[in-house]
Structure formats: structure tokens, C-alpha cells
Amino acid sequence: MKMNSIHILLVEDNEGDILLIREALEDGKIANDLSVVNDGEKAIRYLSRDEGFNDAIIPNLILLDINLPRKNGHEVLSFIKTNDELRHIPVIMLTTSSSDRDILESYKNHANCYITKPVEVSDFMDAVISIEEFWVNLVQLPFKN
């Protein structure tokens, strides 16, 4: 098990889900830094480091919802994966949508994985812990130079 701390950007507009994700990550075995933005436009500004996000830390991993205000998750994903400075960052689509169209569009835009949020709180927490175990403990992520 590696003990690297990583920076995670959570792009989520549901306050309850934000709290659950934060709690699940805090309960994990690794100290991760978490930044949260609650709409697609803010996510793009954060990743571009402009308009109030000049000192933003570019994340090692992004958890991205699809159903977001202002710009949806597909638009944010497309922005990330067509940007030379950002495309290497793994993006996990973490959303309530289980539609074939959303799944296909996410993978066409180079999402690294697609997870439908479980309805039950304990299952949701388990899913986030599984994300952390795989993407933080097991996978070798590219760290910034």
C-alpha cells in the first residue's frame, strides 16, 4: 500500500453527497486534500486557475457529477480531456445517471471510469471508499512536476 497523499477535486452540487464523500475520504486510511466546486463553470475556472481560483491546486484525481448547474459534467469532461495541461488527470464520473447515453458519452470523452451513485447511504460510502482504495492505494497516478 502506498502512502502518497493526493489532491482530489470534487465537482458536485448536492450538499448531502459532498458531505458523504468528504466523510468517506476522511475515514479512509490516507490523508487526501479535497477541493470542492459546485457547478461546471466553477470547475472550469478552478482548473484554468482564473476568476477567483488563481491559487487553485491542480488535482491528481477528479470526481465529476454529470447533472451540474451552468455547465454539465460532459462539458467539463470535454474541457479537461481536450486540454494539454489537464488531460492526464483521471476523471471518475460519479453520478446518479445510469442512462446508456450518459455512459457512452462519458467514455467517448475519455472518462477513466463511470460509477452510478448508490441510493443507500452505506452503499454510497462503500463506493467512495472503493474509489479511494483503487485510485489512491492501488493505481499509480501521475504527480505534478
Per run of 10 residues, the mean pLDDT along the chain (length 145 residues) is: 71 93 77 88 96 91 95 97 95 94 96 92 86 81 63
* Strand bridging mode 61-64 / 91-95: parallel
Please give the class, per CATH, of domain 7-137.
Answer: alpha beta
pLDDT at 27 (0 to 100): 75
This prediction has a pTM of: 0.90
Domain ranges (residues) in the chain = 7-137
Burial class of residue 7 in the structure, from the number of CB atoms within 10 Å of its CB (0-12 exposed, 13-18 middle, 19+ buried):
middle
Which helix (H) or strand (E) segment holds residue 85: the answer is none
